[in-house]
Amino acid sequence: MLALHSQVAVLFEGDGDMAQFASLAEKLGIPLAQAPAFGDTPFFLTWREGALKLLDRELLKKGGLTIDIAPRSGEQRSYPAPKEGAFAQAIGRKTKTVVDATTGWAQDSLCLFRMGYDMTCIERSPIMAQLIADAFARLTHESWVQKLALAPPRLLHGNAIEVLQHLDTAPDCIYLDPMFPPKRKKSALSKKSMTLLHELVGEDLDKERLFEAALSATGRRVVIKSPDYAPPLGGRPSESFAGKLLRFDVYFKP
Ligand SMILES: C[S@@+](CC[C@H](N)C(=O)[O-])C[C@H]1O[C@@H](n2cnc3c(N)ncnc32)[C@H](O)[C@@H]1O
């Protein structure tokens, strides 16, 4: 993986207050690029249409990727959404508090948030953490969130292997969805957002250590999402729920 400052730049395209862009670049310790001088970094962070977006050089002309805070297609738009399907079964219907230790694009976290779970999110990539913080800030402006006076999920930036050791209270469930190497040509990585995330953070080579840390920090269970071709990360799971091309392996705390 390349050093962050040679990988990502904050891009100012002439819209808005440049000081906001400069302060983000300073906070992340990455360069500030000013269009049309893009420099040679492969990725950019910029605000477009009111949201912080991640772009590669191909996306410069085409919009960029942001964390989608809208419910997934087919998801019931009531709050809390029903706890149905393999994902909710694995997390547990009696579970109240969940820590997502590998938040990434936050789609799983936001889905659990909409099901009414009390969510804490951990992410170690400073770029992804910034995109998540922007998404949770946007979430607070959604009319349904305001009407129900809901607080967005908490976000903790850092390596979950360390962060999990310092939680105030043990959550009912710790959820893990680390990066696995792709196997199929048409895998989850064929989605642009996952390809880009893979290029940005690489494979998570410390997944086993993360699992151990999660098992000792959880109050009740650890749930691992894994592609169906990968062996269970923590050995034989207590329970397993199959989804489309993936599995949720559940480990109860001994
Ligand atoms: C496959 S993505 C997660 C996708 C996510 N479930 C979603 O719905 O968008 C994995 C993410 O976990 C993060 N991650 C992996 N290991 C981590 C660790 N030990 N601590 C914190 N974040 C970690 C990676 O940086 C990456 O953003």
Same domain, 19 and 115: no
Would you say the pTM of this structure is higher than 0.75? Answer: yes
Q: Which residue lies with its CA nearest to atom 13 of ligand 1?
A: 102
* Structure tokens that stand for 12 in this block: 């100012």
**CA of residue 227 to ligand 1 center, whole Å:** 14
Residue-level pLDDT, tens digit, the chain, 254 residues: 456 778 999 999 998 899 999 999 999 999 999 988 888 899 999 999 999 999 999 889 878 999 999 988 887 788 999 999 999 999 998 999 999 999 999 999 999 999 999 999 999 999 999 999 999 999 999 999 999 999 999 999 999 999 999 999 999 999 999 998 877 655 554 688 988 898 889 888 999 999 999 999 999 999 999 999 999 999 999 999 999 899 999 999 98
Q: Report how far ligand 1's centroid is from the alpha carbon of 179 (Å).
A: 7
- Tell how far the Cα of 65 is from the centroid of ligand 1, in angstroms: 16
Check whether residue 198 and residue 109 sit in a common domain.
yes
pLDDT for res 186: 55
> Which structural domain range is residue 55 located in?
4-61
Binding-site residues, ligand 1, Cβ < 6 A:
101-102, 104-108, 122-125, 128, 159-161, 177-179, 197, 201, 204, 210
Q: Which atom of ligand 1 is nearest to the CA of 207?
A: 16
Number of domains in the chain: 2
**Token code pair at residue 234:** 């923590």
Q: What confidence score (pLDDT) does residue 2 get?
A: 53
70 belongs to a structural domain: no
Residues 10/16, Cβ–Cβ less than 8 Å: no
Atom of ligand 1 nearest to the CA of 163: 20
The rounded distance, in Å, linking the Cα atoms of 199 and 201 is 6
Do 115 and 17 lie in one domain? The reply is no
**CATH at residue 49:** 3.40.120
- Domain at 237, CATH number: 3.40.50.150
Regarding whether 92 and 55 lie in a shared domain, the answer is no
* Domain membership flag for residue 205: yes
pLDDT at 6: 83
